[in-house]
Structures are given as structure tokens and as C-alpha cells.
């Protein structure tokens, strides 16, 4: 329950910023993808069915504010959770650097995957013009990811949740 | 059983089932009134006050910045004058903001009168959360008479249509989104086509025969045949016409008539535009 409340709180903050700020600042790539960062943290540090459901719920909540195909972000965020879960099950170390790297590729793959599913695979080939801004957003997300992980870890410690991977 | 295959792989299996569920939602779609649409409406409702508050904060911040910029020019003046000027400037910025808002709403009212259709004005309070799709969040919802599928307009032209709704908020799919399409025609040559969005920026006009005489600068307007947008509203102007290359149709790029990034107020047409059948019956 504490895990659900914590991530629900961060997801609301993330979605509020991601929906309100682009309306004020026209340059969208300057806004990091906080939802992907949350999914990566869930996949790396919470090996439970609750975490999987939470990743799906965060993605489905994102669908309420993004895109025209409900389920698309739920799919991509659950997929990121699954990839991170698999990585952390196999790697000895899942530190902030690994997290930031996964966030970088996660942001790019989420975007391209969402375009491929909603507009067809051929649309990915035509989306070259969005790559520079997408790479910038992925880079910024990767830079702030360790900070967000640290804030999450501090909050988890404060409410008595495990910070390192723990199985149910 | 704790040692069993299902227990050992429960996270993997749960995530796998959730992936299948998500794909099912994407492929079948979520219709208004479906059980799956309820959480979406709830999420939209939860975030609406936060988005509205952030929009208000940004307006105040803008007023303060404007006030500060005005103050830079009067630094040499004495403290009393500066304080007085700050107050006046702040009031002026606030009044200018109100005047601009008043102007927008007056223009929208004029548009509503010209259209002769029932319409509701709404404030834009948010944008697409991922930025990959082109959508907006409005401050009006089902309690204001809005329904999914309704046309959204501005005094500059067509904006989009409502795709999701909650009691006090709604989401608009902009016409430049890659999943958006509407029926339009060239005002000069009368050539018809489908106006569609693209992944990055701008619009394209599809399925226009190569023999048609379309030129850069021509206005593209709605045909009204899609049953959503009233006929004759500006969609945009033709930017490029490519006749080279294979294929049966022209490749036409359009610059949207509406600057979607600067939208503050919009008009939602709550009455369905007259259909061809109605006209025949009339």
C-alpha cells in the first residue's frame, strides 16, 4: 500500500508537470520524461506483482492525458518495467548509471514504439525529424534520473520501504 | 505453491498478461461509457484542478515578468515613482491579460454567431503528457454539455475534436495529430481531399488527383461531409505541392491556420452541424 501511494504521488506530480509545462514553454524536449524514470525505478528495485500492476496503472493514467489510443502508454510503460526487471535479475549491479542508461534508451524506444503501434511501422521511418528533440529529451531524462532515483530512495526509506531489489 | 513454476515467474507472467491486456485495449479501442473508460475519466478529473492551478500560476508569473521588464526602464527614477510604476505596471499587465482574454472570447462569440450553432467556450489548461501525440486538455467537460466527437474551433480555424471526457475536463485531438483526419477542399479549385496530421509538424492533404490545379497559398476549408466540423471553416493554407514522383495523387503540405501552441480559449460546438440528409429533408 505504501509503495502504491508513493508511486501514485510521484505519478500525479509527473503527469501534472508534463501536461501543464508544455503549455507554458513551447520547447517540449526540455521536459524530462518522469513517467519512464518511475517505471525504471519500479523495474529495478521492486520485484513484485504489485510493482508490475503499478507500472501498468501509471501507463494507463498517462493514457488519460496523452495520445488517442488508450492502452498504448500502459503497454510501453509495462514493457519498460519488464525489461528493467529482467536486466536487474541478470546484472550484479543496477546503480544510477545503469538506471540512467536504461532511461535514455527507454525514452527513445517508448516514443518510437508508441509511433509504430499508433501510426504503423512505416511512420517510424518518416519520423526522423523528431529524433534530435527526442534524443535531447532522452538525454535530459537520463541526467536527472539519478536525482529522481535518490529522491525516491529517500522517500522509501522514510516510509519504511526496501530501497534495494526485494522479492515478494 | 511457493516453489512452483507459476510462483517463481509470477512477476513475468503478471507483466506479460498486462502487456496482452494493453494491446487488447489498443486494438479494440476504448469507447465512451465502457468500463475501461472510467479510470481515464477519473484520472482526468483528478489532475484537472492541478492543471488549472498551474495555468493560473503561469499567468501570474507572466504578469510579474512583464512588470519587471517594464521596471528595468525606470531604474533611475526615485523609489516612490518606481513603487508607483510597479503597481501601475502590474495592474496594466493584469488588465492587458484580461483585455486579451476578453478579445479572444469576443472573437469566439462572434464565430459562434456566424456559425449559428450552439457552442461552449473553454479554457486550455494542459497539453499532451508525452508530447508524441498532439492533444490539449480543456477546462470544460460533460457537465458543460460536452461529448466525445464534438468539434473544437478557434477564431483562427479548426482545432480538433473531443476524444475523452470527464465531468469537468476533456481532451481534444488536434487536427495535426498523426491519428487525425477530416474532409476538406481547396477553396479556389474546389478539389476535395482528406486533411491528415503527421508525426512531426504540419498537415497534409491526401487523395487529391494529380490533374487538380492546386497552388501554394490556397486556403483549405472543411467540407462538412465528415459530420463533425461545420462546412467552410479554415483548416490551413497550402505550403507545398509536389507533382513529381510515382503514385496517383498529389503530395500536398499544409500550414495549419491555427497556432496550436498559443491557444488559450477555444469554442466547442455542442450542436451537430447540419447533415446532408437534413438538408435534403428540409
Whether residue B1 has pLDDT greater than 60: no
More confident residue, A71 or B67: A71
User: Is residue A14, in this structure, part of any structural domain at all?
Assistant: yes
Q: Is any Cβ of chain A less than 8 angstroms from the Cβ of B126?
A: yes
Q: How far is A50 from chain B (nearest CA, A)?
A: 9
User: Is residue A15, in this structure, part of any structural domain at all?
Assistant: yes
User: Is residue B278, in this structure, part of any structural domain at all?
Assistant: no
CA A145/CA A103 separation, integer angstroms = 7
Both B42 and B131 in a single domain? Answer: yes
**Please, which pLDDT band fits residue B281 given cuts at 50, 70 and 90?**
very low
pLDDT the model gives residue B272: 72
**Please, which pLDDT band fits residue A168 given cuts at 50, 70 and 90?**
very low
Cell digits for A22? 508544455
How many domains would you assign to chain A? 1
Both B60 and B185 in a single domain? Answer: no
Residue pair B114/B130 in contact by the 8 Å Cβ criterion: no
Phi and psi at residue B141, to the nearest 5°: -140, -150
Of the residues A65, A78, A81, A165, the best mutation for testing chain B's interface (the one with the most B CB atoms within 10 Å of its CB) is A65
A-chain CB neighbours of B180 within 8 Å are: 68
Tell me the average pLDDT across A122-138: 81
DSSP string for B199-241:
SSSSEEEES-BTTS---TT-EEEE-STTSSSPTT-EEEEEEEE
Please give the residue range of the domain that contains residue A31: 2-162
Query: Cβ–Cβ of A119/B132 closer than 8 Å?
Result: no
Tell me the average pLDDT across B142-146: 89
User: Is residue A50, in this structure, part of any structural domain at all?
Assistant: yes
Phi and psi at residue B146, to the nearest 5°: -85, 145
Distances B48 to A56, A105, A150, B53, B103 between C-alpha atoms, Å: 22, 31, 29, 8, 25
Q: What is the mean pLDDT of chain A?
A: 85
A-chain CB neighbours of B39 within 8 Å are: 60-61, 64
More confident residue, A35 or B116: A35
Whether residue B184 has pLDDT greater than 50: yes
3-state secondary structure of B155: coil
**Residues of A (15-34) whose Cβ lies below 8 Å from B:** 15-16, 18-24, 26, 28, 31, 33
Q: Is any Cβ of chain B less than 8 angstroms from the Cβ of A87?
A: no
Whether residue B277 has pLDDT greater than 70: no
pLDDT in tens, A51-94: 999 999 999 999 888 877 888 899 999 999 999 988 888 876 66
**Please, which pLDDT band fits residue A23 given cuts at 50, 70 and 90?**
low
CA B58/CA B91 separation, integer angstroms = 16
Tell me the average pLDDT across A7-34: 81
Both B41 and B165 in a single domain? Answer: yes
Whether residue B81 has pLDDT greater than 90: no
pLDDT in tens, B225-250: 888 888 888 999 999 998 877 778 88
pLDDT in tens, B29-45: 777 677 777 887 888 88
B-chain CB neighbours of A82 within 8 Å are: 12, 15-16, 19
Tell me the average pLDDT across A10-23: 83
User: Is residue A167, in this structure, part of any structural domain at all?
Assistant: no
Amino acid at each position: 500500500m505504501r509503495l502504491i501511494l508513493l508511486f501514485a504521488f510521484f505519478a500525479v506530480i509527473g503527469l501534472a508537470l508534463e501536461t501543464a509545462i508544455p503549455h507554458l514553454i513551447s520547447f517540449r524536449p526540455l521536459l524530462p520524461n518522469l513517467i519512464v524514470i518511475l517505471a525504471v525505478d519500479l523495474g529495478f528495485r521492486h520485484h513484485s506483482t504489485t510493482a508490475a500492476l503499478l507500472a501498468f496503472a501509471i501507463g494507463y493514467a498517462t493514457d488519460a492525458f496523452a495520445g488517442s489510443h488508450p492502452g498504448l502508454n500502459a503497454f510501453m510503460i509495462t514493457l519498460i518495467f519488464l525489461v528493467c526487471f529482467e536486466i536487474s535479475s541478470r546484472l550484479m549491479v543496477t546503480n544510477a548509471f545503469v538506471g540512467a542508461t536504461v532511461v535514455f534508451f527507454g525514452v527513445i524506444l517508448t516514443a518510437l514504439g508508441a509511433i509504430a503501434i499508433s501510426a504503423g511501422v512505416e511512420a517510424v521511418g518518416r519520423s526522423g525529424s523528431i529524433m534530435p528533440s527526442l534524443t535531447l529529451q532522452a538525454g535530459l531524462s537520463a541526467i536527472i534520473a539519478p536525482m529522481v532515483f535518490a529522491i525516491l530512495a529517500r522517500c522509501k526509506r522514510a516510509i519504511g520501504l526496501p530501497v534495494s531489489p526485494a522479492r515478494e | 505453491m511457493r516453489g512452483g513454476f507459476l510462483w517463481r515467474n509470477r512477476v513475468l507472467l503478471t507483466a506479460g498478461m498486462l502487456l496482452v491486456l494493453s494491446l487488447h485495449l489498443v486494438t479494440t479501442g476504448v469507447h465512451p461509457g465502457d468500463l475501461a473508460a472510467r479510470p481515464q475519466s477519473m484520472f482526468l478529473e483528478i489532475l484537472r484542478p492541478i492543471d488549472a492551478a498551474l495555468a493560473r500560476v503561469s499567468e501570474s508569473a507572466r504578469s510579474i515578468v512583464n512588470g519587471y521588464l517594464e521596471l528595468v526602464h525606470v531604474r533611475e527614477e526615485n523609489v516612490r515613482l518606481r513603487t508607483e510604476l510597479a503597481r501601475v505596471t502590474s495592474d496594466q499587465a493584469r488588465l492587458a491579460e484580461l483585455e486579451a482574454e476578453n478579445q479572444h472570447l469576443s472573437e469566439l462569440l462572434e464565430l459562434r454567431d456566424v456559425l449559428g450553432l450552439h457552442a461552449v467556450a473553454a479554457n486550455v489548461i494542459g497539453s499532451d503528457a508525452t508530447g508524441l501525440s498532439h492533444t490539449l486538455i480543456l477546462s470544460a467537460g460533460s457537465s458543460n454539455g460536452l461529448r466525445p466527437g464534438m468539434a473544437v474551433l478557434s477564431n483562427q480555424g479548426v482545432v480538433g475534436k473531443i476524444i475523452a471526457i470527464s465531468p469537468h475536463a476533456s481532451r481534444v485531438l488536434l487536427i495535426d495529430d498523426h491519428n487525425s483526419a477530416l474532409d476538406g477542399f481547396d477553396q479556389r479549385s474546389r478539389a476535395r481531399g482528406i486533411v491528415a496530421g503527421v508525426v512531426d509538424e504540419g498537415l497534409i492533404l491526401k487523395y487529391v488527383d494529380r490533374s487538380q490545379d492546386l497552388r501554394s497559398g490556397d486556403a483549405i476549408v472543411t467540407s462538412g461531409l465528415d459530420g463533425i466540423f461545420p462546412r467552410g471553416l479554415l483548416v490551413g493554407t497550402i505550403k507545398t505541392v509536389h507533382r513529381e514522383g510515382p503514385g496517383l495523387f498529389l503530395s500536398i503540405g499544409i500550414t495549419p491556420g491555427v497556432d496550436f501552441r498559443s491557444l488559450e480559449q477555444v469554442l466547442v460546438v455542442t450542436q451537430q452541424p447540419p447533415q446532408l440528409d437534413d438538408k435534403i429533408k428540409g
